[in-house]
Structure 1
């Protein structure tokens, strides 16, 4: 394989209902950094129906060029249609690096494309870098249950591909009016060529708190001793109007459902305030919350790794400290409500 034929950093620009996924904007930020380091172009691949106008958003978030497949056949995501478009684009223009968001769509498409291309795929990446001279992508992710960080290389094949967890990268500041090149592409494909048909889209509704969207998260770990102790997490969260999170050990113990799990095998979160209560700080948990605005840790072990990743730490028994916090916050919030009422 002649590596000189492969140039540029690409991002799959995932969209739904005419809106670009947040992770795609985050990847454009990461891709811009990689492309600048390699002194090459950052491009996006946009596939959908009536999506050409979204290319402007991609330019404003860092892309130099966007390859667009705009056709009614791409109205709904189907592995076969999107895979054919991506494969055609890759084979025609030969990118050096291709990044996808680690969403259900991104992971499905990336794995399908990897089965057809003579290359590999690094899944659920949390850190990206590139060797300036060789172009070798350094894709890092927790391994062995989150106990170590592994950097995975693809030395012999191109393009180098990776899926990246949402919320671990940061989007660039939007530059309104920034322009780039739109390359309109198409492939000969009809509905008769596709085995999968979309009959109906059913959107589920839920009352479940979305921890990936919360401004404040209170997470608990095994240091709370058991399900009874974990109820303090719910009480503190209710007091603050926060979402409830949990460590993997707590979820595996059955104290709370998996959708509350924060970490490499759960959800990556970036709240304004994150409470880590009774959580030791295993790396698989840290990578899921390390980009929070303010991290407050409570643990009775002064040597707990969580204290290396927090802004404020309290050494002590969470079963004693959390009730005091609840009372303190209730009193403070009560005074604020009284003050607001007087203003009215």
Structure 2
């Protein structure tokens, strides 16, 4: 077994010499100078990293009895660095660390200066793109608010809605033939019964309409715009028209344009309507031969969509919104576009 000592200079006696009883004071030679001997015996094996110091006692004579060997002192073989060397190493570390910090601060300062120099305030003082800005941002007065007649005071005209004898609602499609146009300050002329009274009560002061023939010649359509006071009144008209038509308390009138078009005023029709701004757009479609029309007829749904959505809303009213005097973006029409499905739930009902 190996035992630890309190210091490298501690020693212990493996086989103590015989001597006087330590309990007797003054007997025997004085104890050697240095640390007291260890209380525990130590093995005789030597450590590889420790050296044994030679004994200073003279060799025993042959005739002298051999005494038990004295204990050996073990010391560390690891050299101890002088204090002056440790202080010098720390000084160099401090100097090198301080230099590194100074270099880092200098680099950070240069980087910040480069960032500040890269900032160019010139684009703010010389906006070359402003002359080409959108009219709505630079000149809001060039747009039109369609929500009220107060901001959209110019009256409708037949030329605005139907400028020529041919009407092409979309590129690549065949043209509708414009047979006759009509404009009136009395909205009741374009409706009957409770429908006409409703439009008058809600402030309608103008209707512009026309009768057209479809490209294939199989259908006639009367389409136009009612000019109401504001968006709220137009939406009220939109919501009330359906129950009135369901209860047969009124109807939209077709506009006869001569040349055998009187059928548009008498034949069963499919009708659709929707609101954009303070305008109520409508269209009614009849068969050119006066036969009853079917609610699920895809061709009739296409005609209603062409007239109300493509021509009146996206065409006429869009141009009016972009060429007026107020500023409001023109989103989609305010009313649901129920004129495509052909079902009564979408605002399309028989007009008979």
> Does TM-score exceed 0.5, indicating one fold?
no
TM, length-normalised to structure 2: 0.18
The structure where strand makes up a greater share of residues is 1
**Higher radius of gyration, 1 or 2:** 2
TM, length-normalised to structure 1: 0.19
